[in-house]
Amino acid sequence: MEIKDPVHGTISLGRDEVSVVDSAEFQRLRLIKQLGFSEFSFPGATHSRYLHSLGVCHVAGMAFDYIFKNHEFSTPQVRKRFRQVLRLGALLHDIGHGPLSHATEEVMPPRSALNIQTYTHRKSPGLLDGKASHEDYTVKYITDSALTDILKKSFPDITPYHIVCLIDKTLEAKDDFFIDNGLNFRTILSQLVSSEIDVDRMDYLGRDAYFCGTNDGHVETNWLLSNFTYHVVDQEVYLALNKRALYTFDDFLISRHHMYLMIYFHHKSIIYEEMLYRYLTSADCSYRLPADINQYTRCTDYSLYEHLANSTNYWAQKITKRQPFKVLFENHVTHEDPKMNLLADQLRSSGIDFITASSQARLSKYHGGSQEDKSFQIFVIDEYSPKETPITIDKCTQIFEMYEKTRRIERIYVPGEVLDRAKKIRESL
């Protein structure tokens, strides 16, 4: 089947993939907007996670073809199988996403209530505690829902567990599915699904920019893709990049960073999320996400908006009537700045209701340098120094040092009807 996509032109799906896409579980993504509340600041941003997921699947196939163009797998079937499991991992990476925004994770049930058998294979068993996240629903959908049967029937040589292995790095391999000719391909396939330059980002940066109508997210994705390659260390296959695309890698990170600062952290999106959070944690909130996966399939942006419209809660009505609090104060900092607290104190003592919000963006998670990330390094290949051992990307570019500081956007919002009064207080400081 061929699907028209304004971003990638035409997306082709195999007949078996169509049966996955046509499932009620996947179709639900049509009703989950990619950017939640962002449409209130960028009215073009009504695009869904459905189209994004198709796009990620498409980019995954392209990435695979570029990387392994000249690699000889033991048989054509192995090539086909690896490519297919990667495309499925990419297609389904978001399938458990909650309605509207990450704020709804607040009303998810305990993780244990989802009863995910697969988690017994997790390397760290403590991961079973706590509240469920959208990743948990993703794992549930793939391994234990009506979709699971479709996957098994459509792709007999791939198990749902293999797909989940590409999404959840903490799952132990149970067989040699990812081994070919003694090489382990799980690392590179996982990196393509989730890493500093994964196919998820490669789709959403350009897509969000397209629908928001901004140039910020437009990166030379094709240049990146066509310079993807691989590098083997200790029989393990890692994602690698040709050195000539290193500036594009920098651009890619910076571009994403600026998308956070300019689009995702737009003051209107942030205040709607804050208001939704306040509703969801209100005493009279009756909205809960179900542990039952079939009931969860009914939980969409649509049903949440209808729920809000029917609620008499203050915050639910504010959202429904599009009456967000207004920005009184905004500060972009890398260090603590006392100004916001000062103003907050004044507002409090003047009896003015207000909401503070702080949004933090960092260029990359490489900064943290957690052990997990270290084991998923991307390498750089230099064509002008073919004899040298490739080194990891964080040692090749200075972008991580240049952008090492976390950026924080601090804001104070007040109700529209007291904005003028609040402004006077701000100006009196």
Per CB under 8 A, the list member of 71, 169, 258, 362 interacting with its own copies is 258
Per CB under 8 A, the list member of 74, 75, 222, 235 interacting with its own copies is 222
Per CB under 8 A, the list member of 1, 18, 44, 146 interacting with its own copies is 44
Per CB under 8 A, the list member of 141, 155, 211, 325 interacting with its own copies is 211
- Measured from the CB atom, is 54 or 167 closer to its own copies? 54
- Residues near its own copies (CB under 8 A), total: 70
**Smallest distance from the beta carbon of 177 to its own copies, in angstroms?**
29
DSSP state for residue 410 in the 8-state scheme? E
C-beta atoms surrounding 389 within 10 Å: 8
Residue type, 401: E
**Smallest distance from the beta carbon of 130 to its own copies, in angstroms?**
31
Q: Which residue has the tokens 């505690």?
A: 129
**Smallest distance from the beta carbon of 133 to its own copies, in angstroms?**
25
**Smallest distance from the beta carbon of 428 to its own copies, in angstroms?**
9
- E-strand ranges in 211-281 read 228-233, 236-242
11-30 binders of its own copies (CB under 8 A): 22, 24, 27, 30
How many residues does the structure list for the chain?
429
Alpha-helical (H) ranges within 68-198 are: 76-92, 134-143, 146-154, 160-167, 186-193
The piece of 120-128, 190-198, 368-376, 380-388 that touches its own copies (CB under 8 A) is 380-388
271-300 binders of its own copies (CB under 8 A): 298
- Coil/strand/helix, residue 128: helix
Are the CB atoms for 48 and 277 separated by under 8 Å?
no
φ, ψ of residue 303 to 5 degrees: the values are -70, -35
Tell me the torsion sign for CA atoms 122, 50, 290, 146: negative
Is 6 a residue that touches its own copies (CB under 8 A)? yes
Alpha-helical (H) ranges within 6-99 are: 15-21, 24-27, 49-67, 76-92
Structure token digits, residue 164: 């989940």
Rounded to whole angstroms, the Cα distance separating 25 from 9 reads: 25
- Measured from the CB atom, is 305 or 376 closer to its own copies? 305
List interacting residues with its own copies (CB under 8 A). Answer: 2-7, 9-10, 22, 24, 27, 30-31, 39, 41-44, 46-48, 50-51, 54, 210-216, 218-220, 222-223, 226, 246-248, 250-251, 254, 258, 261-262, 298, 302-303, 305-306, 309, 321-322, 327-332, 334, 384, 386-387, 398, 402-403, 405, 426-427
